[in-house]
Amino acid sequence: MKKPIILLTFFLNCLLGTAQENSDIVQIRENFQAWQPIIESKLKTSTQFFHYAWGENYQEDEWYTSEQASEDKFLFQKTYIIEKANLGTFVYYDNFAMSGDWKISVDYYFDTNDRLYFIFWRMNTFQANEPLTIEKRLYFNSEGELIRNLKSTFKMNTKDESTAGFADRDVEYELHLNKMDFYSKWKEE
């Protein structure tokens, strides 16, 4: 009799864990949808920062509030920030390879407590068997635990799936907004 009770307890725990994860995913998707019209209308006029590197091995870097005209500096990150009291903070990054082989765009969604809950990551890359677009979606619960991690690979700038090999890159993130690279520059404004 103990075996069925243990199995039933295990099954119920799995079911409850899945139900909580699913409710987190549903809430994340609702917040994502609420952000879309705001991003569409406010992104180009939002707060922007520009991250440049320079030096023989690009060992020097600095965040700026405007684009720089210097030919000695390489723009490798551009950031847009939108804040909404009822939704939190949206951060958009463009990351540029110095080689020109790839470009990564990342949407970071932070809740009203400045905790990360969703990332939509896209990379266009020529470091592949054919030019590709890779998309990754990372979902986090309120404790900062990764609860879902999805990855899709397409022929570049299409929705035609591909199984071609490529040089993958990690999704870089911080669980708290104040740990993001641009944060100190933003808050000194």
Give the model's confidence band at 15: pLDDT under 50 very low, under 70 low, under 90 confident, else very high: very low
pLDDT beyond 60 at 73:
yes
Burial 144-183 (b: 16+ CB within 10 A, else e): eeebeeeeebbeeeeeeebeeebeebebeeeeebeebbbb
Q: How far apart are CA 25 and CA 115, in angstroms?
A: 15
Measured CA to CA, the distance from residue 21 to residue 173 in angstroms comes to: 21
What pLDDT score was predicted for residue 12? 44
Q: What is the total count of domains within the chain?
A: 1
SS3 content of the chain, % helix, strand, coil (to 5): 30, 40, 30
DSSP-assigned states of every residue in 148-179: EEEEEEEETTSS-B----B---PPP--SBGGG
pLDDT at residue 55, rounded to an integer: 87
Give pTM, 2 decimals. 0.86
| pLDDT value of position 6 | 53
Residue-range definition of the domain harbouring residue 169: 2-188
State yes or no: pLDDT of 58 exceeds 90: no
Q: What is the pLDDT of residue 158?
A: 93
Asked if pLDDT for residue 13 goes beyond 70, the answer is no
Q: What is the band of 57 on the pLDDT scale with cuts at 50, 70, 90? A: confident
Mean pLDDT of 107-134: 97
Least confident of 19-23, 134-138, 176-180: 19-23
